[in-house]
Amino acid sequence: MHKRKLGLLGVLLSVALQLTAQGPQSYTFKVGDQFRVTAEVNQDIIQTMLGQEMETKQTITTVDFYEVVAVTNEGYKMRTTGLSRSLYTEAGGGSVAIDSEKEGDDNLAFRVLTGKSYYVVMNRYGRLLRFEGMDDFNNAVKSDLAGTILEDQADALLTAFEEKPLKTAFNGQFYIYKEPGKDWGRSVDTEINQLPISVDYTFSRVDAQTIKATGPMVMVGEMEIMGNQMTADMSGDQTTFFKVDSSTGLPSTINTLQSMTGSLEVSDLTVPMTLKTEVSVKITK
């Protein structure tokens, strides 16, 4: 009997060591856990029209605060609050800057999106289950815009907080662990500026603290800008590396590189285009 116990202990120890070597397999939060997510998106767009190259550079920075408010059988409920938003675009010798931390009507669109909260509920593998409190969030934004120059544009401003783009963004940062009985891969269909984008990627372990996701991207579809109908036909790939914290499973850094080439067709004019995007996310507790 003593030998059997020792043998069983040896098996359990071996399993534990193997799991440790594999790194976190899910999230292990507790009520009261807090963390800050700082994301910077750098985008470089090059279009060739009538033999001339036109380059547009854009940087978007967001800071959000998360707090775990409940741990249930289905996973975790977290309150998320926007702390800051900024955008800087440079094209054709001109530039546009919007910063939620600055005063003035030029910055109002981002300023009203900060200091307001809603809730996300995810399972222990990071998959979003639902949002809660979005009506309160939307009403608070509209209330702040009432009587301002952007009052009539409130609904357009809140499209970024519709379920589909919000779900895609959340899962892109948190849904990184393999669920039992499912393939360790994702197929994502979303929209950017009315254009449908499809991404199919698979996950793999680089080491105990690093997860890699890679796969092809396709952007094909039509959109309308200022009354002009445009058709996009672009493809490329995306690679993301997640550095995860062994104690909670939370990523500490996320680095993504997207590269796409193709064309835009506008009024029978075909415009060759390349699109490169780098996303750097830092998560601090």
Q: Find the range with the poorest average confidence among 53-62, 74-83, 260-269.
A: 260-269
Chain centroid to CA 143: 27
- From residue 51, alpha-carbon distances to 44, 114, 269, 279 in Å are 19, 43, 12, 30
The pLDDT assigned to 229 comes to 80
Q: In residues, how long is the chain?
A: 285
State the average pLDDT for the chain: 89
The pLDDT assigned to 194 comes to 66
pTM of the model: 0.88
8 pLDDT higher than 50: no
Rounded CA separation 235/259 (Å) = 8
pLDDT (tens digit per residue) in 56-80: 999 999 999 999 999 999 999 999 9
Terminal CA-to-CA distance of the chain, rounded, Å?
Answer: 47
List the beta bridge partners of residue 245: none
5 pLDDT higher than 60: no
pLDDT (tens digit per residue) in 162-195: 998 899 999 999 999 999 999 999 888 877 656 7
Rounded CA separation 194/221 (Å) = 8
The pLDDT assigned to 18 comes to 41
Residue of 27, 61, 26 lying closest to 42 (CA atoms): 61
